[in-house]
């Protein structure tokens, strides 16, 4: 049994082709990937519903559930593997359909080992890039991204407040203190900030702190308490509470999932 939590699934109803690909990839992978097989599309479709597969290599034509059917069944899946299809020369129209459905490459029978490895390596690089994008998407706070100090309509006082908060995020900040620094009444500043930034000052501060915390969780090995302090929280308990309110999971669970300790990112 492979210790790898990354899986390549080969689906082909021809035993010789299926086993040949498996053996070639197992030698190449050297334990980096679990290389598994299915001899029909029905079994493969069920496995793909239940298990996380990173790369799917499937024949386009099989009885009952074809490779094309298999690819179509993945269209609404939360986790889509990268897909390579296998076909004979006479079936190239099926390959074209598979590419339109999202397959990244194809192999023609009889398979050439060096071509197989080249295509597989390229597909796995694409899969890693896709996962990187998924993680970056999870890392980014889109509400913060919408707050642009250079946008029309944002006055200098709010710009100054944003610049100050970004530079002093590790300190204990209050709205009254920041308003005072830019010579505004706190109540007026509160209304002005929400009107121009689109969120309240307290929400902006919390989101910015948690955004910075997420970066530290992934880029450092600092403890949860140390990260909380670095983004301006006096206690672990309050930091965890705010983090959970925005991310729906604790800082430690977030770090575990985003660093690949789990196959899920909720």
Pair (25, 78) in one structural domain: yes
Q: Are 59 and 14 in contact (CB under 8 A)?
A: yes
Pair (25, 129) in one structural domain: yes
pTM summary value: 0.69
Task: Report yes or no on 48 lying in a domain.
Answer: yes
Q: Are strands 55-59 and 7-11 parallel, antiparallel or unpaired?
A: parallel
Share of the chain above pLDDT 70, in %: 96
The number of domains in the chain is 2
Task: Report yes or no on 263 lying in a domain.
Answer: no
> Which residues lie closer than 8 Å to 167 by C-beta, 6 or more apart?
none
The residue count of the chain comes to 266
Task: Report yes or no on 225 lying in a domain.
Answer: yes
Residue 112 belongs to a domain with what CATH number?
3.40.50.2300
pLDDT digits (tens, 9 = 90+) for 185-224: 999 999 999 999 999 999 999 999 999 999 999 889 999 9
Last residue of a domain, one of 111, 133, 155: 133
Whether residue 46 has a cis bond before it, omega within 30° of 0: no
Pair (151, 51) in one structural domain: no
Pair (118, 160) in one structural domain: no
Alpha helices in 105-155 (DSSP H): 113-139, 142-145
pLDDT at 116: 96
- Domain span at residue 46 reads 7-133
Q: Both tokens of residue 158?
A: 């709010």
Instruction: Render each residue's pLDDT in the chain as its tens digit; 266 residues.
Output: 334 578 999 999 999 999 999 999 999 999 999 999 999 999 999 999 989 899 999 999 898 989 999 999 998 887 889 999 999 877 888 999 999 999 999 999 999 999 999 999 999 999 999 888 877 887 889 899 999 888 878 999 999 999 999 999 999 999 999 999 999 999 999 999 999 999 999 999 999 999 999 999 988 999 999 999 999 999 999 999 999 999 999 999 999 888 765 433 23
Pair (28, 61) in one structural domain: yes
Residue 180 belongs to a domain with what CATH number?
1.10.10.60
pLDDT at 2: 39
Pair (116, 183) in one structural domain: no
């Amino acid at each position: 049994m492979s210790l790898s939590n990354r899986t390549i699934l080969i689906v082909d109803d021809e035993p010789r082709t299926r086993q040949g690909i498996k053996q070639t990839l197992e030698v190449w992978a050297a334990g980096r990937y679990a290389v598994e097989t299915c001899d029909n599309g029905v079994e493969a479709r069920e496995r793909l519903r239940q298990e996380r597969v990173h790369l799917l290599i499937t024949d386009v034509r099989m009885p009952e559930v074809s490779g094309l059917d298999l690819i179509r069944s993945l269209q609404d899946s939360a986790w889509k593997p990268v897909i390579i299809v296998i076909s004979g020369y006479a079936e190239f129209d099926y390959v074209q359909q598979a590419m339109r459905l999202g397959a990244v490459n194809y192999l023609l029978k009889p398979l050439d080992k060096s071509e197989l490895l080249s295509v597989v390596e390229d597909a796995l690089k694409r899969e890693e890039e896709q996962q990187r994008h998924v993680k970056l998407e999870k890392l980014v706070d889109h509400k913060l991204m919408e707050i642009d100090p250079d946008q029309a309509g944002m006055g200098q006082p709010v710009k100054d407040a944003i610049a100050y908060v970004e530079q002093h995020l590790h300190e204990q900040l209050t709205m009254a203190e920041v308003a005072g620094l830019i010579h505004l009444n706190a109540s007026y500043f509160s209304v002005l900030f929400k009107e121009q930034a689109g969120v309240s000052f307290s929400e902006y501060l919390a989101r910015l702190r948690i955004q910075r915390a997420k970066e530290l969780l992934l880029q450092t090995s600092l403890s949860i308490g140390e990260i909380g302090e670095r983004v301006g929280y006096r206690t672990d308990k309050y930091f965890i509470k705010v983090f959970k309110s925005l991310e729906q999971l604790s800082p430690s669970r977030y770090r575990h999932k985003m660093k690949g300790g789990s196959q899920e990112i909720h």
